[in-house]
């Protein structure tokens, strides 16, 4: 049983949601997406609510592939993302991350927007989206802004969102020659938070790395890009040495903490290993047979 009751509001459109949030500014109001984070926090009273605004009627569960990008509604669930054939084929890193979130029951409820907006440093959707250069659409009444994934996270459980504002969609560019993969290390194979998560993406031309992007989760106050490691790779021929050098560089760009899931030193070592493996997977996809993507998204 939740301890404190609240007013439950379920607007029937996005416009209504933004209007209600505007009216309730300054009050204890929380938006409800999947509820997998909010409901337990209302129960243990780490969050208090006078109003809960259900987003289920706002039409934010669309997933649309356009010509050069995919638009993922903030309320698309992880179950949808890990099963969607086109997501698995065209942006496999997102499917690889989605399948690692919770278990079947939680994936059926939990949404990608909710996961991002909680701003937890170990959230598994961020690294893939950072590497894919995703943008987030944030909307408030009469206002709208598009922010880069890299700008969105401010600190542990802190994001750019201001009162009255919600994330409405995630926009992921579709780059034909850019291949990205996601990997994570947890204490168990199921139902565990990441000790370290890593995503890497590359575009390869003439056996040279034309573009490389690397991101890590659970190893800093926010999910972050490893820009120096990317620079190590840029324009280089693919060799085991250069991959190892980039992976080691990535491990210097993070600021992990020690907690019950792993020590800072352990996280640093695992980070280098995961970055190297994610790079190897991405390079295999970029240079290997076309059916590699399908295989990768099974993980």
Give, in order, the Cα–Cα distances in Å from 32 to each of 29, 126, 268: 10, 20, 35
Q: Scanning the structure block, which residue is given the tokens 């944030």? A: 138
Specify the residue, 55 or 214, whose C-beta has the smaller distance to another protein: 55
- Binding residue (CB under 8 A) for another protein from 13, 105, 239, 255: 105
**Rounded distance, CA 118 to CA 253, Å?**
23
Shortest distance (Å) from residue 5 CB to another protein: 4
Q: Is position 35 an interface residue for another protein (rule: CB under 8 A)? A: yes
What x-and-dash track marks residues 15-34 binding another protein by CB under 8 A? -----------------x-x
Q: Is position 54 an interface residue for another protein (rule: CB under 8 A)? A: yes
Shortest distance (Å) from residue 108 CB to another protein: 5
Q: Is position 118 an interface residue for another protein (rule: CB under 8 A)? A: no
User: In the structure, how many helices (H) and strands (E) does the chain have?
Assistant: 13, 14
Q: Is position 109 an interface residue for another protein (rule: CB under 8 A)? A: yes
Q: Is position 104 an interface residue for another protein (rule: CB under 8 A)? A: yes
Shortest distance (Å) from residue 51 CB to another protein: 9
Specify the residue, 10 or 71, whose C-beta has the smaller distance to another protein: 10
Shortest distance (Å) from residue 53 CB to another protein: 11
Q: Is position 79 an interface residue for another protein (rule: CB under 8 A)? A: yes
- Sign for the CA dihedral angle at 48, 49, 53, 56 comes to positive
Shortest distance (Å) from residue 270 CB to another protein: 22
Q: In sequence order, which ranges of the chain are alpha helices (DSSP H)? A: 14-23, 38-43, 78-83, 85-90, 92-98, 104-109, 112-118, 125-131, 149-152, 227-233, 240-252, 264-287, 292-296
Shortest distance (Å) from residue 199 CB to another protein: 22
Closest residue by Cα to residue 51 from 1, 2, 114, 9: 9
Specify the residue, 96 or 211, whose C-beta has the smaller distance to another protein: 96
Q: Is position 1 an interface residue for another protein (rule: CB under 8 A)? A: yes
Q: Is position 85 an interface residue for another protein (rule: CB under 8 A)? A: no
Specify the residue, 137 or 261, whose C-beta has the smaller distance to another protein: 261
Q: Note whether 49 and 40 are within 8 A (CB).
A: no
Q: Is position 53 an interface residue for another protein (rule: CB under 8 A)? A: no
Q: Note whether 180 and 174 are within 8 A (CB).
A: no
- Binding residue (CB under 8 A) for another protein from 190, 241, 289, 291: 190
Q: Scanning the structure block, which residue is given the tokens 């990317």? A: 230
The two three-digit tokens of residue 208, written as one number: 């040279």
- First vs last C-alpha separation in the chain: 36
């Amino acid at each position: 049983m939740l301890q404190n009751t609240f007013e439950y509001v379920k607007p029937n459109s996005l416009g209504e949601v933004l209007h209600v949030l505007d009216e309730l500014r300054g009050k204890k109001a929380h938006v409800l997406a999947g509820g997998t984070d909010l409901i337990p926090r209302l129960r243990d009273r780490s969050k208090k609510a006078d109003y809960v605004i259900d987003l289920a009627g706002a039409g934010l569960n669309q997933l649309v592939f356009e010509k050069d990008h995919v638009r993922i509604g903030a309320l698309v669930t992880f179950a949808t993302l890990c099963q969607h054939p086109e997501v698995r084929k065209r942006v496999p890193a997102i499917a690889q991350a989605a399948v690692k979130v919770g278990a079947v029951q939680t994936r059926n409820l939990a949404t990608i927007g909710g996961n991002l907006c909680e701003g937890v440093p170990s959230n598994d959707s961020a690294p893939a989206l950072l590497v894919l250069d995703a943008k987030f659409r944030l909307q408030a009444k009469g206002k709208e802004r598009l922010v880069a994934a890299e700008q969105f996270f401010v600190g542990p459980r802190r994001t750019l969102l201001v009162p009255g504002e919600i994330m409405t969609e995630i926009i992921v560019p579709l780059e034909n020659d850019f291949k990205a993969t996601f990997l994570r290390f947890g204490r168990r194979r199921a139902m565990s938070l990441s000790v370290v998560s890593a995503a890497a993406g590359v575009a390869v031309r003439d056996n040279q790395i034309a573009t490389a992007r690397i991101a890590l989760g659970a190893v800093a106050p926010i999910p972050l890009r490893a820009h120096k490691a990317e620079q190590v790779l840029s324009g280089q021929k693919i060799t085991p040495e250069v991959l190892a050098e980039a992976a080691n560089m990535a491990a210097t760009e993070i600021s992990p903490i020690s907690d019950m899931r792993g020590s800072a030193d352990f996280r640093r070592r695992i980070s280098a290993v995961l970055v190297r493996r994610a790079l190897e997977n991405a390079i295999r996809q970029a240079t290997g047979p076309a059916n590699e993507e399908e295989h990768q998204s099974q993980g």
